[in-house]
Amino acid sequence: MSNREITNFFEFISGFYARRIKRIIPALIIFVCLVSVLICFFNPYSSEALITGGTSLWGLSNIYLLKISTNYFAESTQLNPFTNTWSLGVEEQFYFLYPLLIWFSGYGKKTRNGHKNLLITLSFLTTISLLAFIYFYNVNQPLAYFSMPTRFWEIAVGCILFLVLQKKKSF
């Protein structure tokens, strides 16, 4: 969390998304455009790869790959250079939920218990997400692998670590 003075939810949320869009979207657009052109020359069956690339621009490639039940490590993914964008989809979907957690926990408004509320909320959701991942890994591996709810815990652990270390003045 930066030292920006935030006065309302709209200012907070628009600033949050503007920073992420500036960081992610330009490189993604260049990557998808260049690789899409190149793949058309080298892969005669490029339609699945091109759809994956197109869905990645909207943060949905993980959902597309889940829909077609792709095994990330299968031979069929070797000719799809956009398979790796599933993680960007998870990250972008995480960013729909995370700013709400920051703001409504009080952390974004810098309330007295905001830090604690966010830490407790993230810890609870991380536990639920990890349990869901473990369950679905045995039942439906593509769901466990590609869905944001089952991957939430991995990103949230980094957020929890930040919150814990933020309280350590010596760090």
Judged against a pLDDT cut of 80, whether residue 3 lies above it is answered with no
Any idea of the CA torsion for 152, 156, 157, 163, to the nearest 10 degrees? -170
Mean of pLDDT values over 1-11: 71
Judged by DSSP in three states, 159 sits in helix
Distances (CA, A) of 155 to 9, 86, 97, 110, 122: 23, 14, 12, 22, 10
What is the pTM (predicted TM-score) of this model? 0.84
Q: What mean pLDDT comes out for the span 60-80?
A: 80
Which of 102, 101, 152 lies closest to 127, judged by CA? 152
Q: Are 64 and 51 in contact (CB under 8 A)?
A: yes
The whole-chain average pLDDT of the chain stands at 90
Q: Which of 130, 118, 98 has the alpha carbon at shortest distance from 166?
A: 118
- Quick: pLDDT tens for 105-155: 999 888 999 999 999 999 999 999 999 999 999 999 999 999 999 999 999
Cβ neighbourhood burial of 165 (10 Å; 0-12, 13-18, 19+): exposed
Least confident of 22-26, 67-71, 119-123: 67-71
Q: Could you report how far apart the first and last alpha carbons of the chain are, in Å?
A: 15
Residue with tokens 């031979």: 75
